[in-house]
A = this chain, B = another copy of it.
Protein backbone atom coordinates (compact mmCIF):
# COMPACT_ATOMS: atom_id res chain seq x y z
CA UNK A 1 0.00 0.00 0.00
CA UNK A 2 1.76 3.16 -1.09
CA UNK A 3 -0.15 5.54 1.21
CA UNK A 4 2.77 6.63 3.33
CA UNK A 5 3.18 9.67 5.58
CA UNK A 6 6.20 11.69 4.54
CA UNK A 7 6.17 10.48 0.92
CA UNK A 8 7.54 12.88 -1.70
CA UNK A 9 4.06 13.26 -3.23
CA UNK A 10 1.08 14.59 -1.26
CA UNK A 11 -2.50 14.56 -2.47
CA UNK A 12 -5.68 15.87 -0.86
CA UNK A 13 -8.88 13.91 -0.20
CA UNK A 14 -11.92 14.10 2.11
CA UNK A 15 -12.36 12.52 5.54
CA UNK A 16 -16.10 12.20 4.91
CA UNK A 17 -18.50 12.34 1.94
CA UNK A 18 -22.14 11.23 1.55
CA UNK A 19 -22.57 7.53 0.74
CA UNK A 20 -23.36 8.12 -2.96
CA UNK A 21 -19.94 9.74 -3.40
CA UNK A 22 -17.88 7.11 -1.58
CA UNK A 23 -15.67 5.39 -4.13
CA UNK A 24 -16.33 8.20 -6.64
CA UNK A 25 -14.40 11.19 -5.28
CA UNK A 26 -11.84 12.15 -7.88
CA UNK A 27 -8.77 11.62 -5.73
CA UNK A 28 -9.45 7.96 -6.63
CA UNK A 29 -8.25 8.62 -10.18
CA UNK A 30 -5.00 10.07 -8.90
CA UNK A 31 -4.50 7.29 -6.33
CA UNK A 32 -5.08 4.76 -9.12
CA UNK A 33 -2.48 6.41 -11.36
CA UNK A 34 0.05 6.49 -8.51
CA UNK A 35 -0.60 2.81 -7.77
CA UNK A 36 -0.11 1.92 -11.46
CA UNK A 37 3.29 3.64 -11.53
CA UNK A 38 4.24 2.34 -8.07
CA UNK A 39 4.72 5.67 -6.31
CA UNK A 40 4.16 6.21 -2.60
CA UNK A 41 1.99 9.17 -1.66
CA UNK A 42 0.86 10.95 1.47
CA UNK A 43 -2.74 12.09 1.90
CA UNK A 44 -3.85 15.30 3.55
CA UNK A 45 -7.46 14.61 4.49
CA UNK A 46 -9.79 17.61 4.56
CA UNK A 47 -12.93 17.77 6.64
CA UNK A 48 -16.02 18.85 4.66
CA UNK A 49 -15.97 22.61 4.25
CA UNK A 50 -12.21 22.89 4.59
CA UNK A 51 -11.87 22.63 0.80
CA UNK A 52 -13.52 26.07 0.54
CA UNK A 53 -11.10 27.76 2.95
CA UNK A 54 -8.32 30.06 1.78
CA UNK A 55 -5.47 27.65 2.57
CA UNK A 56 -6.85 25.00 0.22
CA UNK A 57 -8.03 27.49 -2.39
CA UNK A 58 -4.44 28.64 -2.74
CA UNK A 59 -3.82 25.19 -4.25
CA UNK A 60 -7.25 24.65 -5.82
CA UNK A 61 -9.08 27.84 -6.82
CA UNK A 62 -12.40 26.00 -7.24
CA UNK A 63 -12.33 24.49 -3.73
CA UNK A 64 -12.26 20.86 -4.85
CA UNK A 65 -10.12 17.78 -4.30
CA UNK A 66 -7.74 16.33 -5.36
CA UNK A 67 -4.58 18.38 -5.50
CA UNK A 68 -1.03 17.13 -6.07
CA UNK A 69 2.15 18.44 -4.48
CA UNK A 70 5.69 17.27 -5.13
CA UNK A 71 8.43 19.67 -4.07
CA UNK A 72 7.82 23.02 -5.77
CA UNK A 73 5.27 21.56 -8.15
CA UNK A 74 1.56 21.81 -7.38
CA UNK A 75 -1.32 20.78 -9.61
CA UNK A 76 -5.10 20.70 -9.51
CA UNK A 77 -7.70 19.00 -11.80
CA UNK A 78 -7.58 15.21 -11.70
CA UNK A 79 -7.16 15.04 -15.49
CA UNK A 80 -4.08 17.26 -15.33
CA UNK A 81 -2.66 15.31 -12.41
CA UNK A 82 -3.15 11.92 -14.07
CA UNK A 83 -1.50 13.17 -17.26
CA UNK A 84 1.38 14.63 -15.25
CA UNK A 85 1.89 11.34 -13.38
CA UNK A 86 1.88 9.47 -16.70
CA UNK A 87 4.56 11.81 -18.02
CA UNK A 88 6.60 11.83 -14.81
CA UNK A 89 6.84 8.09 -14.08
CA UNK A 90 6.99 5.10 -16.43
CA UNK A 91 4.01 2.76 -16.71
CA UNK A 92 1.01 4.78 -17.89
CA UNK A 93 2.25 6.32 -21.14
CA UNK A 94 3.13 4.61 -24.42
CA UNK A 95 6.60 5.65 -25.55
CA UNK A 96 5.85 6.06 -29.26
CA UNK A 97 4.18 9.25 -30.54
CA UNK A 98 1.15 7.42 -31.95
CA UNK A 99 0.52 5.52 -28.71
CA UNK A 100 0.94 8.74 -26.77
CA UNK A 101 -1.64 10.42 -29.04
CA UNK A 102 -4.12 7.57 -28.41
CA UNK A 103 -3.72 7.98 -24.67
CA UNK A 104 -4.11 11.75 -24.83
CA UNK A 105 -7.27 11.67 -26.97
CA UNK A 106 -9.02 9.05 -24.83
CA UNK A 107 -8.17 10.95 -21.66
CA UNK A 108 -9.91 14.00 -23.10
CA UNK A 109 -12.76 11.96 -24.60
CA UNK A 110 -13.46 10.59 -21.11
CA UNK A 111 -13.50 14.03 -19.49
CA UNK A 112 -15.02 16.22 -22.17
CA UNK A 113 -17.25 13.93 -24.28
CA UNK A 114 -18.44 11.16 -21.93
CA UNK A 115 -18.34 12.67 -18.45
CA UNK A 116 -20.56 15.74 -19.12
CA UNK A 117 -23.74 13.73 -19.98
CA UNK A 118 -22.90 11.22 -17.22
CA UNK A 119 -22.57 14.02 -14.66
CA UNK A 120 -25.78 15.55 -16.03
CA UNK A 121 -27.46 12.27 -15.04
CA UNK A 122 -26.04 12.57 -11.51
CA UNK A 123 -27.36 16.13 -11.43
CA UNK A 124 -30.86 14.89 -12.35
CA UNK A 125 -30.91 11.82 -10.10
CA UNK A 126 -29.10 13.21 -7.05
CA UNK A 127 -28.80 16.98 -6.84
CA UNK A 128 -32.05 17.85 -8.65
CA UNK A 129 -33.85 14.65 -7.62
CA UNK A 130 -36.65 16.55 -5.89
CA UNK A 131 -37.19 19.05 -8.72
CA UNK A 132 -40.30 18.52 -10.82
CA UNK A 133 -38.22 18.30 -14.02
CA UNK A 134 -35.91 15.54 -12.81
CA UNK A 135 -38.00 12.58 -14.00
CA UNK A 136 -39.15 14.06 -17.34
CA UNK A 137 -35.58 15.09 -18.23
CA UNK A 138 -34.02 11.71 -17.51
CA UNK A 139 -34.99 9.83 -20.71
CA UNK A 140 -33.34 12.49 -22.88
CA UNK A 141 -30.17 12.38 -20.78
CA UNK A 142 -30.07 8.59 -20.99
CA UNK A 143 -30.53 8.74 -24.76
CA UNK A 144 -27.53 11.06 -25.02
CA UNK A 145 -25.43 8.81 -22.79
CA UNK A 146 -26.47 5.69 -24.68
CA UNK A 147 -25.49 7.32 -27.97
CA UNK A 148 -22.00 8.06 -26.66
CA UNK A 149 -21.68 4.57 -25.17
CA UNK A 150 -22.63 2.98 -28.48
CA UNK A 151 -19.96 4.99 -30.25
CA UNK A 152 -17.38 4.00 -27.66
CA UNK A 153 -18.49 0.37 -27.84
CA UNK A 154 -18.25 0.38 -31.64
CA UNK A 155 -14.72 1.73 -31.45
CA UNK A 156 -13.58 -0.67 -28.74
CA UNK A 157 -14.92 -3.72 -30.59
CA UNK A 158 -13.03 -6.78 -29.36
CA UNK A 159 -9.96 -4.85 -28.20
CA UNK A 160 -8.83 -5.04 -24.60
CA UNK A 161 -8.16 -1.31 -24.18
CA UNK A 162 -8.87 1.85 -26.17
CA UNK A 163 -5.21 2.83 -26.19
CA UNK A 164 -3.51 -0.45 -27.14
CA UNK A 165 -1.68 -1.16 -23.89
CA UNK A 166 -3.45 0.09 -20.71
CA UNK A 167 -2.49 3.75 -20.25
CA UNK A 168 -3.66 7.06 -18.80
CA UNK A 169 -6.44 7.27 -21.40
CA UNK A 170 -7.93 3.94 -20.34
CA UNK A 171 -7.54 4.77 -16.68
CA UNK A 172 -9.73 7.83 -17.24
CA UNK A 173 -12.24 6.05 -19.51
CA UNK A 174 -12.80 3.34 -16.89
CA UNK A 175 -13.02 5.96 -14.13
CA UNK A 176 -15.75 7.85 -15.96
CA UNK A 177 -17.73 4.84 -17.21
CA UNK A 178 -17.85 3.19 -13.78
CA UNK A 179 -19.84 6.19 -12.44
CA UNK A 180 -22.92 4.65 -14.10
CA UNK A 181 -22.01 0.98 -13.61
CA UNK A 182 -25.10 -1.01 -12.67
CA UNK A 183 -27.52 1.67 -13.91
CA UNK A 184 -28.54 -0.35 -16.98
CA UNK A 185 -26.67 1.77 -19.53
CA UNK A 186 -23.15 0.38 -19.74
CA UNK A 187 -24.75 -3.07 -19.52
CA UNK A 188 -26.43 -2.56 -22.92
CA UNK A 189 -22.93 -2.95 -24.41
CA UNK A 190 -21.29 -6.14 -23.14
CA UNK A 191 -17.86 -5.24 -24.48
CA UNK A 192 -17.94 -1.96 -22.53
CA UNK A 193 -19.18 -3.68 -19.37
CA UNK A 194 -16.32 -6.18 -19.68
CA UNK A 195 -13.91 -3.30 -20.30
CA UNK A 196 -14.96 -1.53 -17.10
CA UNK A 197 -14.68 -4.81 -15.18
CA UNK A 198 -11.20 -5.40 -16.65
CA UNK A 199 -10.15 -1.95 -15.44
CA UNK A 200 -11.59 -2.15 -11.95
CA UNK A 201 -10.19 -5.66 -11.42
CA UNK A 202 -6.66 -4.34 -11.79
CA UNK A 203 -4.82 -4.68 -8.47
CA UNK A 204 -3.77 -1.03 -8.65
CA UNK A 205 -7.41 0.08 -8.89
CA UNK A 206 -8.40 -2.18 -6.02
CA UNK A 207 -5.65 -0.77 -3.80
CA UNK A 208 -6.62 2.79 -4.73
CA UNK A 209 -10.30 2.17 -3.97
CA UNK A 210 -9.51 0.52 -0.64
CA UNK A 211 -7.28 3.47 0.28
CA UNK A 212 -9.97 6.03 -0.54
CA UNK A 213 -12.57 4.10 1.46
CA UNK A 214 -10.19 3.70 4.42
CA UNK A 215 -9.75 7.47 4.51
CA UNK A 216 -13.41 8.13 5.34
CA UNK A 217 -12.87 8.29 9.08
CA UNK A 218 -14.59 11.62 9.68
CA UNK A 219 -18.13 12.53 10.64
CA UNK A 220 -20.75 14.39 8.61
CA UNK A 221 -20.75 18.12 9.27
CA UNK A 222 -23.86 19.66 10.89
CA UNK A 223 -26.83 19.53 8.53
CA UNK A 224 -25.53 16.55 6.52
CA UNK A 225 -26.36 12.94 6.90
CA UNK A 226 -25.33 9.85 4.96
Chain A residues at the B interface, C-beta cutoff of 8 Å? 57, 61-64, 72-80, 83-84, 97-98, 101, 104-105, 107-109, 111-113, 115-116, 119-120, 123, 128, 131-133, 136-137, 140, 148, 151-152, 154-155
> Which residue on B lies nearest to A26, using beta carbons?
B112
Given A62-B148, A75-B105, 12 further pairs, Cβ under 8 A: A63-B151, A73-B97, A73-B101, A77-B108, A80-B108, A83-B104, A111-B111, A116-B116, A116-B120, A120-B120, A120-B123, A132-B136
List 7 A-B residue pairs with CB atoms under 8 Å apart, sorted by A's residue number.
A57-B154, A61-B151, A75-B101, A77-B109, A77-B112, A128-B140, A133-B137
Which residues from B are CB-within-8-Å of A61?
109, 151-152, 154-155
- Label chain A's interface by main secondary structure: helix
Give the distance in Å from the alpha carbon of A154 to the alpha carbon of B60 in the complex: 12
Contact between chains at A79 and B108 (CB < 8 Å): yes
Give the distance in Å from the alpha carbon of A112 to the alpha carbon of B161 in the complex: 23
> Which residue on B lies nearest to A148, using beta carbons?
B62
Which residues from B are CB-within-8-Å of A119?
116
A35–chain B nearest beta-carbon distance, Å: 21
Give the distance in Å from the alpha carbon of A7 to the alpha carbon of B53 in the complex: 50
